[in-house]
Structures are given as structure tokens and as C-alpha cells.
Amino acid sequence: MSVERVAIIGLGLLGGSLGLAIAERLPKIATTGFDADPQVRQRATERGLVDRVCDTPAEAVASADLVILCVPVGAMEAAAREIASALPAAAIVSDVGSSKQSIARALGAALPDQAVIPAHPVAGTERSGPDAGFATLFSHRWCILTPPDGADATAVATLTGFWEALGAKVEIMDPAHHDVVLAVTSHIPHLIAYTIVGTASDLEDVTQGEVIKYSAGGFRDFTRIAASDPVMWRDVFLSNREAVLEVLGRFTEDLSALQRAIRNGDGEALFDLFTRTRAIRRAIIDEGQDDARPDFGRGDH
């Protein structure tokens, strides 16, 4: 199956980047888009995020071969129901959400007769909105597909080829396993970042001005993560609550062990942990998933 027309519902960071990436790498594909916010639609038109910004979601999907929902996880089912009656029978429906079991259930309920292949491009920045998108967001990043049991093999292959053409590396994964993996690599780190930045702002003995003025690299990087879209992340934690709570329980146990090591003066335990985590950092760089330059290359800008 070839993709000639793509509809993007939601024109923020991911939706906008998707439209720009298609224009740059798959220029023969025609794109339509819709966003529930009229101001976002206006800005998307000005930036040319898609070929045609539509006034309704039904208009956007009316002739699409592939529809990608780029809305917050909590809005997925409502967005799917809005387009259900206008979808061409052969259209593939996908998404970019970061919790897959809940989205599979939501889209399956809203679109029982449609080819639905959930997906998660593991890419993003702390910025959001129609001005945040850029064409290379997905280059050399992973896109995880979580097709349901019995999914149409041609639809899976089509979606795989589409993401690879945008520069992504594609992997097929069970949705439950995906949710645990992302709880570890993305959701819990965000939760920790939101918490430590909130704690710092609440400390009575340290003024907010001092927190801002003397931010060392570690805290500064937490603030970058904690600047992420609050609506999106609220929905992520609520939709992936089982996996998040499971991993958070393990993290809490490990944090308690670290607390004991510090209280007991157990330098060996601390050194062993820090040595293991340093090796993981090096492996991430070797995999090409981050920049090896000191201070993440900030001094080069």
C-alpha cells in the first residue's frame, strides 16, 4: 500500500514536525491538518506546517490514506470519534502517544472497523505548540510500533516504511512491554524532574532567586525536562499509571537504599552505583542517542 495523502490531527510540536518532515523528505505526499485551537490553525497556516489546514477534523481526514493523531493521550478517543464517520475505509489510523495500552483500547473502541496501528516516535523537546516543530525531529530516533493482535501486515509494513522514510529507526513492540520501558526511560525521569524543581521552589531556606541564579548543570537539566507540556504529561501519567506506579515503587526502594548508604557512610555502595550509571551514560552516547561533548555541547552555541 502506498501513502499519498496524510492527515495530521493536532499541530503542536509533534504534529508540526511531522508535517515539516513529510514536506522535506516525502514531498510527493499531500498533507492536511487540523487543530482544535483556532490560533494554532492560524499559526500552522502561516508556518506551512501542512499543505492545507482544515476547519474541521472530518474535512482533514476525508481523503487520507494515513491519519496520525498528535493530540494529548487523554484526548485520543474523543479525537478518533470526531473523525470516525469521515474516514475512508482503507485509511490507516495511527498516533504519536507515549503510552500504548490505553491508546490501543481507546482507538479500538472508537474505530472498531479501521486499521489502527499505534505508534510512538521517541522524540521531542521541552517546547510545545505550532512554533516548536522542525523537520529533523525524528531523524535517527526510534519509532516504536505496537500493532494489536491480528493487525493487517500490509498496514504495519506501510507505516514502518513511512517512518523510516522520515529518518526514524522502527521497532515493533508489545504494548504492555512498551509502557514499562517508557516508564523507565521517560515517564519516571519526567516525574522526578517535576518533583525536584517543585521541591526547590518550595524550600523556605533557599529563595527562588537563588535557585535560578546558582543553578548548576544537574538542576538546570531537570528544569529543561520540567518545562515540558503540562497537559501532555498529566495525561501520560494517568494513562500509564500501572507501569509508572510499578517502576516508581522500585525507584523508591532504590532511593531508600541510597539514603541508607549515605547515612551509614557506605562509600563503597555509592561508588559501585555511580560506576554502573556512568557506564550506562557512555552506552547511550555510543548508541548515538546523545551528544558526547562536555555540557551537552552548550559551549558551542
Give the Cα separation of 166 and 134 in Å (integer): 12
**Predicted pLDDT at 301:** 41
Residue among 84, 210, 69, 92 nearest 157 (CA) = 92
Residues 192-201 pLDDT 10s: 999 988 888 7
How far apart (Å, rounded) are the C-alpha atoms in residues 219 and 192? Answer: 11
Cβ(50)–Cβ(77) below 8 Å = no
Q: Which residues of the chain carry a pLDDT beneath 50?
A: 296-298, 300-301
Q: To which H or E segment does residue 22 belong?
A: helix 13-25
Q: In the prediction, which pLDDT does 297 show?
A: 47
Residue 185 has a pLDDT of: 87
pLDDT at 77: 95
Domains of the chain, first to last: 5-173 (3.40.50.720), 177-265 (1.10.3660.10)
d(CA 48, CA 31) in angstroms, rounded, equals 10
Q: Which residue intervals of 150-187 are DSSP H helices?
A: 153-165, 175-182
How far is 192 from 199, CA to CA, in rounded Å?
10
The C-alpha angle 26, 29, 32, rounded to 5 degrees, equals 120
